[in-house]
Amino acid sequence: MTQNSSDELIKPRGLIVGLGSIGRRHLKNFRELCPDSTIAVLRRREDGTAKQLGADLVLTELPKATQWRPDWAVIANPASEHAVTVNALANVGTHLLVEKPLASVLVDAKRITAASKANNCVLMTGYNLRFDEALRELQHRVSSKSIGNVLSIDASVGQYLPDWRPDQDYRTCVSAQRQLGGGALRELSHELDYVQWIAQTAGVKEGLQVRSAQLDQIGDLEIDVEDHVELLLQGTVTGCPRPLLARVHLDFLSRTARRFCTVTGTLGSLHWDGVQRQLTLTKPGQTEMLHDDSAADRNASYIEMSREFLRRIASKTGFTSAGEEGLLAMDLIEQAETWNSKD
């Protein structure tokens, strides 16, 4: 909580950095969750848009934002700019929700984590699918061993990039530009995050490692980043003689949007449909719908992630090990690129 010179409590201060589509979503959500907060937007220009969307003020320079000393901030500018932005804000004690990926390169992700830890700031990476109710139920079922020991995880996501934001030229967006940290591997890294999360729940202690990687540009999208990724990951499960295998597919090319994850165990399998937000359990002779959120608001996982961020701030525990979750995805990204460069 920010204090004035008289040590009287004033409204908490929140900052949204960047006002692209995800920045606008966060502004709307935090305006709803924090009606008594003063919320600023940091962007390169002031054209009235931010205030129309609910911001109380607009800042156009990072030094001005740090002088304003926000209590919390959502970092939604390009990944290539995350490290500079976070370092400046962490140094004034700002708690941080950083949009995925945590950074454009692993060394910057480590700097972000170090700065947050040094200043005891809450740090979360914006992997909102961890807060999808059906996927959380899958994680719970893995934890309770309802399908026995996990043998493999298959995750896949694909959607035609021009359909993401049909009101703008997709070639100008962050996703399509290498210099801004774009590409299927980074922009669709939700799969890398939740696959690691599920693998850890299944007993993989040291994290998954890349065993093969293929990053390609096979479409005709006129972009300078990969549009198709195939990964094979492997992890060692404590007390188990065989490795846990994970296959991950990411693409910018699928004309029908899809997102799913199948976890196969010794007693059955769990299948999550991320588009329909449904979870099914299959065992010999039976298939059961465990969770169906298909009618729910698609914004719900973002709202719950934001609530969790605010809860962590309110708990006053500062930096926790959860702040390093984004590093695991970044580590897999760097491993994949290193592996791919060998070919």
* Alpha-helical segments (H) within 119-177: 133-143
Q: Is the pLDDT of residue 40 over 50?
A: yes
More confident residue, 341 or 26: 26
Q: Is the pLDDT of residue 169 over 60?
A: yes
175-217 pLDDT tens trace: 889 888 889 999 999 999 999 999 999 999 889 999 999 999 9
Tokens of 27: 């502004």
Which one, of 88, 86, 132, lies nearest residue 109 by Cα? 86
Q: Is the pLDDT of residue 9 over 50?
A: no
* Predicted local confidence at residue 10, as pLDDT: 58
Average pLDDT, stretch 59-84?
Answer: 96
Side by side, the strands of the sheet bearing 269-273 are 209-216, 228-235, 244-251, 150-158, 258-265, 269-273, 278-283, 286-292
Average pLDDT, stretch 298-309?
Answer: 96
Averaged confidence pLDDT in the chain: 93
Beta-carbon contacts of 219 under 8 Å, excluding residues fewer than 6 positions away, are 227, 228, 252, 253
CB burial of residue 99 (10 Å; 0-12, 13-18, 19+): buried
**pLDDT classification of 1: cutoffs 50, 70, 90:** very low
100-111 pLDDT tens trace: 999 999 999 999
Residues 51, 45: Cα–Cα separation, whole Å: 12
Using a cut of 0.85, tell me whether the model's pTM lies above it.
yes
Contact 187, 136 (CB under 8 A): no
5-14, 173-182, 262-271: range with highest mean pLDDT: 262-271
* Predicted local confidence at residue 138, as pLDDT: 98
* Predicted local confidence at residue 170, as pLDDT: 83
**pLDDT classification of 5: cutoffs 50, 70, 90:** very low
Average pLDDT, stretch 300-309?
Answer: 97
* Predicted local confidence at residue 340, as pLDDT: 80
**pLDDT classification of 80: cutoffs 50, 70, 90:** very high
Q: Is the pLDDT of residue 58 over 90?
A: yes
Contact 115, 87 (CB under 8 A): yes
* Predicted local confidence at residue 6, as pLDDT: 33
What are the structural domains of the chain?
A: 13-128+303-322 (3.40.50.720), 129-296+332-341 (3.30.360.10)
Q: Is the pLDDT of residue 2 over 60?
A: no
* Predicted local confidence at residue 4, as pLDDT: 43
196-206 pLDDT tens trace: 999 999 999 88
* Predicted local confidence at residue 342, as pLDDT: 67
Q: Is the pLDDT of residue 11 over 90?
A: no
* Predicted local confidence at residue 187, as pLDDT: 95
Which one, of 308, 327, 271, lies nearest residue 97 by Cα? 308
Average pLDDT, stretch 72-90?
Answer: 97
* Predicted local confidence at residue 165, as pLDDT: 83
